[in-house]
Chains A and B, each alone.
Chain A
Amino acid sequence: MHHALTLAGETLHALASGALYLPGHQTLVVSDLHFGKSERMARLGGPLLPPYETRATLARLDAEIAARSPATVICLGDSFDDLAALHGLDPEDRLWLIRLMAGRDWIWVEGNHDAGPPDIGGTHRATVQIGPLTLRHIADPRQMAEVSGHYHPKAQLAGRFRPCFLADAQRVILPAFGTYTGGLRSTDAALTTLMQPRALAILTGPRALAIPMPR
């Protein structure tokens, strides 16, 4: 179940999983995967969290790729919790990622957590242009027709917060796809100033649900 959006004449499917699909370009976009988060926290002397978030995220990504067989996958920044996290990946998780990358164009857009090309193949870019759309990690308020991530937006419906897309006529912001990620409420000033008054929040979960963006 997805919610169909139109941005600069392009059709975008906001998927219930939190991924964005561009049917006209056979392109799947996911943002803020934060692979290796638990390993990074442990390295910095923090708590030893269950080290399974990378495979949990890969499992969900694998399901979306299997369902749509995209020609291109774009990871919209903060794909790794930091560049060293890539080297800390469990060998099995690393193999799984390489298997998913095989046979398709894979683009790593640079985020604030993972500046620099990851040493695992694919293409590394600051921004990506697809037709009229510009894809980058952090939204640029002046930019039109933009797809971005970074903020991990979440919104509340029926007493419960869920990660969500934010969409208006100018831009779409993706929720975080990574398993160990929190969210920023859509009511936060950083988001209410960025989004137009009639923006939508599309909640993820069992199905994609659009509501007026809570402000």
Chain B
Amino acid sequence: MTLLPLALSHWFAAQGWTLHPHQMAMLDRADAPATLLIAPTGGGKTLAGFLPTLAEVAGGHAGLHTLYISPLKALTADIRRNLRRPVEGAALPIRIEDRTGDTTYTQRRRQRADPPHILLTTPESLALLLSYEDAPRMFAGLERVIIDEIHALAESKRGDQLSLLVARLQSLRPGLRLVGLSATVEDPPALARFLAPDTQILIADPGPDPDIAMLDTSLPPPWAGGGGRYAIADVLAQVKRHRTTLIFHNTRAQCELFFHDLWAQNDDNLPIGIHHGSLAREQRERVEAAMTAGALRAIVCTGSLDLGLDWGDVDLVIQVGAPKNVKRLVQRIGRANHRYNAPSKALLVPANRFEVVECQAALDAVRAHTLDGEPRGPGPRDVLCQHILLAACAGPFDADDLYTEVTRAGPYAALTRPDFDACLDFTATGGYALRAYDRWQRLMQTAGKWHLRDPRAAAVIRQNLGTIIDVETLKVRLKNRTGGMPLGEIEESFASTLTPGDTFLMGGQVVRYEGLRDMTVEVSRTAGRDPKVAVFNGSKFATSTLLTHRILEIFQQDTWPDLPAHTASWLSLQREVSRLPDPHSLLLESFPHDGREHLVVYGFAGRNGQQTLGLLLTKQMEALGLAPLGFVATDYATLIWGLEPVTDPAPLFDPQTLRDGLEVWLAGNAVMKRTFRASAIIAGLIERSHQGRRKSGRQATFTSDILYDTLRKYDADHLMLHITREEALRGLVDFARIEDLLARVGPRIHLTRLPRVSPLAAPLFLEPGKIPVHGLGRDRLATDAARQLMRDAGLD
């Protein structure tokens, strides 16, 4: 067992701190090669991770001892402050520094030459460190690696990359000890395997169950839509009753709309701020500082506050909109009351009637301690390609050694040698059927070792390291003579729809679009209350399989005493005039409405899955002459409208036909092109578009869509196309959920013909995001628009 330095024990005692059992246990296991600690928020798990380091370094250590990796830059700075308190308090000779994209050039150079004892960093900065030739020297004395919030990292490509980086660190430093720190997860052994094959799992006391309920609102939720603005008065009443409230939203757009309307009703002028990822860093930091100072009563926020910053004063979490995912809900609830052993308090606000049922399902799941989570699947090969390039930057490598190293990383444990070789060939020659680059290979083999043909290429590769692919955004500034205050950023695609005079929401205020200057959107404040244009699109999560199953089970109850009366009577009416969907069959309804035929498919396959289903079904309906005109998808159902009724659904749902449709439809779809762009950037086929380059060289850059179309036409079997397909299937297309659905229902597909819209289907008509189906329609629209423009300009 490792002992704490006496000075530190004394300092803890002087603060009145006693170590939690799991913190003691981490000291006991200081020598274990790999440990995964699972503890609730507020359980002091970061300190638990660092205690063995403090003990060992206090006894004397030259150079870097512990590398701490967190997913957030803000978290590294926060941890540095928190860690310095006991270290300085106990006067321990330990140097702690952080290193992120924000660290100055001089500081970074110095850190490589003379590293601190503890270096706090992010996966991206670690990738950069490992790409330098002097990496072996810098990490020569490394003893421990601590990965914080490993549950969040392991769900993304950042985690896949990190696993490869850790495998590399282990090659540089055999015997390195690993620690993963995680919030509560559904499958601890899987997360343990992600860290290392022989990881010990340590589960801390999860603390008391949270105090969680649905918010009682004075008005019933609307039939459809999101945002929960009907509940603002009730939310404000709760804010008043608590010290500090976090109000979570699922998207930035809903966050903005809610915040704007909330202030319109905030008669007491309660200090309430807004925080989300599209706001300027200055704006976010101001809100964070005010929060830390206890100056705010509430923050309207998104997932940007899911992790990090320990704010002791939060005593209520409000989740607006269905939580979509139980695990994330539990982690969010943990943000309330960062004191260990006190129950967290949370309220759910469903945004519409369907979400009432989903919120109930989520409450049941939290109380039953069941968590959701889809297995991640093997490590993606685009990340591997980037890692091979990184290895080449660091120096010549042997392919056999690199393969051995890579397969030590959890996500790549099952990687075959041919798959590895294909990735190596791609990075070296491009991997094209037409061997065009024999003279200009990127990597070459000399005396058995692979190396960069042109060492100058290393700079470009380093600039493109990392797996976070941002959508192209433009900065938004208030227009004035001195350049103006930065407000945040919007997606370039959204900016391109604006014309001067349009108003939209940014940071809770209505602003007027003035124009585009030097790739910056200039806006002015406006007196208008109603923004003309909807705000930018945020990412939309799909409801988890676990939650959809629980919803289907709730539907099977005879009565619904747990649900609000408005929702219970809605479900009863549906049962009366049609039927409720169930877990073992697929319910379809067809009915005429407003001069069109409609088909509703209650697949419960999640938003992306239902959307894919809509595309596949309308494609087939087109072929069958049913003249579909459009569809709209939610997490639960797809509504399709057209000219002819569907009378025989069986052929539409034949699994093989759907799979064939996928093959044909998928390849040319915009979803694939978006996926291709992300994978091509990660794999190093195209470079990231940096703000500066976009500004200067529009002519020189062409879209990744052109590359995708060219590859498909001339090299259909290329590695990048395989990767794209694999990524799209498990991402935006989500065909797995459709396969699950088909397996779940088998031949039990029930079509109910109704004279009119059913109660369950009615809200679907109010859903935004309707997708038109037309072959030549888009061209016709463009022709009409062009004719109109010419006429308006008097040019025809």
Interface set of A (CB-CB < 8 Å, partner B): 38-39, 42-43, 45-53, 55-56, 90, 151-152, 156-159, 179-185, 188, 198, 200, 203, 206-207, 209-212
**Interface residue from A151, A179, A212 paired with B706 (Cβ < 8 Å):** A179
Contacts of A179 in B (CB 8 A): 706, 710
**Interface residue from A38, A51, A182 paired with B698 (Cβ < 8 Å):** A182
Alpha-carbon distance A206/B775, docked complex (angstroms): 13
**Do the beta carbons of A157 and B714 come within 8 Å of each other?**
no
**Shortest distance between the CB of B653 and any CB in chain A (Å):** 34
Contacts of A90 in B (CB 8 A): 434, 436
Alpha-carbon distance A179/B699, docked complex (angstroms): 13
Alpha-carbon distance A192/B442, docked complex (angstroms): 41
**Shortest distance between the CB of A184 and any CB in chain B (Å):** 5
Contacts of A184 in B (CB 8 A): 698-699
**Interface residue from B453, B713, B779, B786 paired with A206 (Cβ < 8 Å):** B779
**Do the beta carbons of A183 and B698 come within 8 Å of each other?**
yes
Contacts of B623 in A (CB 8 A): none
**Interface residue from B685, B710, B715 paired with A47 (Cβ < 8 Å):** B685
With A56-B714, A152-B699, A179-B706 known as contacts, the answer to whether A200 contacts B795 (CB < 8 A) is: yes
Alpha-carbon distance A198/B437, docked complex (angstroms): 47
With A42-B437, A159-B497 known as contacts, the answer to whether A49 contacts B714 (CB < 8 A) is: no
Contacts of B687 in A (CB 8 A): 46-47
Contacts of A158 in B (CB 8 A): 778, 781-782, 785
**Do the beta carbons of B718 and A50 come within 8 Å of each other?**
yes
Alpha-carbon distance A184/B698, docked complex (angstroms): 6
Contacts of B432 in A (CB 8 A): 48, 50-51
The residue in chain B whose Cβ has the minimal distance to the Cβ of A182 is B702
**Do the beta carbons of B702 and A211 come within 8 Å of each other?**
no
Binds A, one of B454-462, B474-482, B545-553, B755-763: B454-462
Alpha-carbon distance A203/B790, docked complex (angstroms): 13
**Shortest distance between the CB of A139 and any CB in chain B (Å):** 14
The residue in chain A whose Cβ has the minimal distance to the Cβ of B788 is A211
Alpha-carbon distance A185/B697, docked complex (angstroms): 11
Q: Which of B401-443 contact A (CB under 8 A)?
A: 429-430, 432, 434, 436-437, 439-442
**Do the beta carbons of B434 and A211 come within 8 Å of each other?**
no
Alpha-carbon distance A151/B698, docked complex (angstroms): 10
Q: Does B686 sit within 8 A of A, measured CB to CB?
A: yes
**Do the beta carbons of A50 and B707 come within 8 Å of each other?**
yes
The residue in chain B whose Cβ has the minimal distance to the Cβ of A185 is B698
Q: Does B684 sit within 8 A of A, measured CB to CB?
A: yes
**Do the beta carbons of A39 and B440 come within 8 Å of each other?**
yes
Q: Does B766 sit within 8 A of A, measured CB to CB?
A: no
**Do the beta carbons of A198 and B496 come within 8 Å of each other?**
no
Contacts of A45 in B (CB 8 A): 453-454, 456-457, 460
**Do the beta carbons of A50 and B440 come within 8 Å of each other?**
no
Q: Which of B737-796 contact A (CB under 8 A)?
A: 778-779, 781-783, 785-786, 789-790, 793, 795
Contacts of B718 in A (CB 8 A): 50
Q: Identify whether the interface residues of B are mostly helix, strand, loop, or mixed.
A: loop
Alpha-carbon distance A53/B686, docked complex (angstroms): 15
Contacts of B456 in A (CB 8 A): 45
Q: Does B24 sit within 8 A of A, measured CB to CB?
A: no
Alpha-carbon distance A212/B429, docked complex (angstroms): 45
**Interface residue from B460, B702, B713, B783 paired with A180 (Cβ < 8 Å):** B702
With A158-B785, A180-B706, A182-B702 known as contacts, the answer to whether A52 contacts B440 (CB < 8 A) is: no
Q: Which of B497-516 contact A (CB under 8 A)?
A: 497
Contacts of B782 in A (CB 8 A): 157-158, 209
**Shortest distance between the CB of A5 and any CB in chain B (Å):** 12
Contacts of A198 in B (CB 8 A): 793, 795
Q: Does B701 sit within 8 A of A, measured CB to CB?
A: yes
Q: Does B703 sit within 8 A of A, measured CB to CB?
A: yes
Q: Does B732 sit within 8 A of A, measured CB to CB?
A: no
**Shortest distance between the CB of A165 and any CB in chain B (Å):** 14
Q: Would you give the 0/1 interface string for B700-741, flagging 1 where the beta carbon is closer than 8 Å to chain A? A: 111100110011011100100000000000000000000000
**Do the beta carbons of B703 and A182 come within 8 Å of each other?**
yes
**Do the beta carbons of A210 and B790 come within 8 Å of each other?**
yes
**Do the beta carbons of B702 and A50 come within 8 Å of each other?**
no
With A38-B436, A157-B786, A182-B701 known as contacts, the answer to whether A50 contacts B442 (CB < 8 A) is: no
**Shortest distance between the CB of B394 and any CB in chain A (Å):** 18
Contacts of B702 in A (CB 8 A): 180-183
**Do the beta carbons of B707 and A48 come within 8 Å of each other?**
no
Contacts of B457 in A (CB 8 A): 45
Contacts of B779 in A (CB 8 A): 206-207
Contacts of A56 in B (CB 8 A): 710, 713-714
**Do the beta carbons of A48 and B496 come within 8 Å of each other?**
no
**Do the beta carbons of A48 and B430 come within 8 Å of each other?**
yes
Q: Could you show 28 A-B contacts with beta carbons less than 8 Å apart?
A: A39-B437, A39-B440, A42-B430, A42-B442, A43-B439, A45-B454, A45-B457, A46-B460, A47-B687, A48-B430, A48-B440, A49-B430, A49-B707, A50-B714, A51-B430, A51-B436, A52-B434, A52-B710, A151-B699, A159-B496, A159-B497, A179-B706, A182-B698, A185-B698, A198-B795, A200-B795, A207-B779, A211-B789
The residue in chain B whose Cβ has the minimal distance to the Cβ of A209 is B786
Which of B454, B699, B706, B790 has the most chain A CB atoms inside 10 A of its CB? B699
**Do the beta carbons of A212 and B437 come within 8 Å of each other?**
no
The residue in chain B whose Cβ has the minimal distance to the Cβ of A38 is B436
Known: A39-B436, A42-B430, A52-B714. 20 other contacts (CB 8 A): A39-B437, A42-B437, A49-B686, A50-B432, A52-B711, A52-B713, A53-B710, A56-B710, A151-B699, A157-B785, A181-B699, A181-B702, A182-B698, A182-B701, A183-B698, A184-B698, A185-B698, A198-B793, A211-B790, A212-B795
The residue in chain A whose Cβ has the minimal distance to the Cβ of B698 is A184
**Shortest distance between the CB of B385 and any CB in chain A (Å):** 11
Alpha-carbon distance A210/B703, docked complex (angstroms): 23
Contacts of A156 in B (CB 8 A): 496
